[in-house]
Amino acid sequence: MKTTDIRIAGLGTYIPEIVDARKAVALGLYDADDYEWYGWTGAAVADDMPAPDMAVAAARQAMERSQTHPHDIDMHIHACGHEQGPEGWSPQHYILRHITDRDVPSFRVWQACSGLIGSLELAACYLQAVPERTTALLTGADNVGTPNFNRWAFGIQNGVLGDAGSAVLLSKTDGFASLLSINTGSTAEVEEQYRGAEPLFPPSLTVGRSMDFKERLAAAGGLEETVAEVVRRQGELRTEIALRTLAEAGLEPADVTRVAHVFTGQESYLKVILDPMGLSTDLGLLDFGRNLGHLTVNDQIVGLDHLVATSQVGPGDHVLIVAHGGGVSITCAVVRIDHRPHWAQ
């Protein structure tokens, strides 16, 4: 989808304290062989800070940077990959309550780790549907440090998770960057591999079962074969969507200045993502992301914020955003930097 007059007015992040991966190895939380192989150097750990509070902190930073008044917000979307609080509770409205007293719609989106970037397309459509709508707030947050989950042993190839919150303000009236195009797709058949042999009812969370994706993928027909099929199928669609999104923005791969992508500790993993698009891993954020862990829904916005704040991108530069989650959901977007915001170095 080629967008019209959709701009990024503000970005915000909340990154908790970084725990050194070597400390996790010493504590027996992280396998020493995995540490040597996968390349992660640390993970952001929020301890007992609730995910919605990280989202609120990020949203407040985005609004302060953009000088957006709370009454200007016309809708809110919150994305997450993990549970946010009490079952049956509405974390998105908790976040909205702490940002504005307007009675605007607030939605929760679950698209695994591509949820926040996928929400950009939903928000852009919402704003463009009615002329009077001008501003959308998007937040994302997760704290994966729950008793039945080991962030250092996620169970699949990209496997160290960090905690974070992030936020984006989309505006039809003002901003330092433009959202030129965005597209989303699904490889729905892959849900079977991520489900494995687990029953659908009762939900695993309600009976205290731990999350082990390695076990689920192995149950779907052999771990290595299943992972290879997921990577192949997802890679094909991800490349097609990325190239189509660039074309809609009137760009070629050679026009891409930097890429905001899922964080990884391995250059080989990043090459799997970028090589088919004709892009070098030098355009990515390998060294920055490997010290934070995979921040679930937040990687791409945290990465974009880092690129802008450190002036690694400036006026006229194009950032390709590539997000995939849960093997099944993919969103790619193209952002053009129009001017350097006052909060950039």
pLDDT in tens, the chain (345 residues): 999 899 999 999 999 999 999 999 999 999 999 999 999 999 999 999 999 999 999 999 999 999 999 999 999 999 999 999 998 999 999 999 999 999 999 999 999 999 999 999 999 999 999 999 999 999 999 999 998 889 998 766 668 999 999 999 999 999 999 999 999 999 988 888 778 788 889 888 788 777 777 777 777 666 666 667 777 888 999 999 999 999 999 999 999 999 999 999 999 999 999 999 999 999 999 999 999 999 999 999 999 999 999 999 999 999 999 999 887 999 999 999 999 999 998
Spatial distance between the Cα atoms of 230 and 228, rounded to a whole number of angstroms = 6
pLDDT at position 224: 66
Q: Return the CATH superfamily for domain 7-176.
A: Thiolase/Chalcone synthase (3.40.47.10)
Query: Each residue of 72-115: pLDDT tens digit?
Result: 999 999 999 999 999 899 999 999 999 999 999 999 999 999 99
The predicted model scores a pTM of 0.95
- Please name the residues in contact with 282: beta carbons below 8 A apart, sequence gap of 6 or more: none
- CB 216 within 8 Å of CB 195: yes
pLDDT at position 175: 97
User: 168: which 2 tokens?
Assistant: 């984006």
Query: Each residue of 209-221: pLDDT tens digit?
Result: 777 777 777 776 6
CA 17 to the chain's CA centroid: 19
* C-alpha distances in Å from residue 209, one per residue of 50, 80, 199, 289, 325: 21, 20, 11, 30, 22
Query: Each residue of 37-79: pLDDT tens digit?
Result: 999 999 999 999 999 999 999 999 999 999 999 999 999 999 9
Spatial distance between the Cα atoms of 3 and 179, rounded to a whole number of angstroms = 7
φ, ψ at 274 (rounded to 5°)? -95, -30
| Of 343, 232, 293, nearest in space to 16 by CA | 293
pLDDT at position 5: 93
Spatial distance between the Cα atoms of 143 and 279, rounded to a whole number of angstroms = 32
Count of CB atoms situated within 10 Å of the CB of 158: 17
Looking at the chain, the domain(s) classified CATH 3.40.47.10 span 7-176, 180-337
User: 317: which 2 tokens?
Assistant: 């530069």
Q: Does domain 180-337 have CATH number 3.30.70.20?
A: no
- CB 301 within 8 Å of CB 315: no
- CB 284 within 8 Å of CB 270: yes
User: 3: which 2 tokens?
Assistant: 């967008």
pLDDT at position 156: 67
Spatial distance between the Cα atoms of 296 and 260, rounded to a whole number of angstroms = 14
Spatial distance between the Cα atoms of 53 and 85, rounded to a whole number of angstroms = 11
- The DSSP bridge pattern shows strands 106-109 and 177-186 to be unpaired
User: 115: which 2 tokens?
Assistant: 């949820």
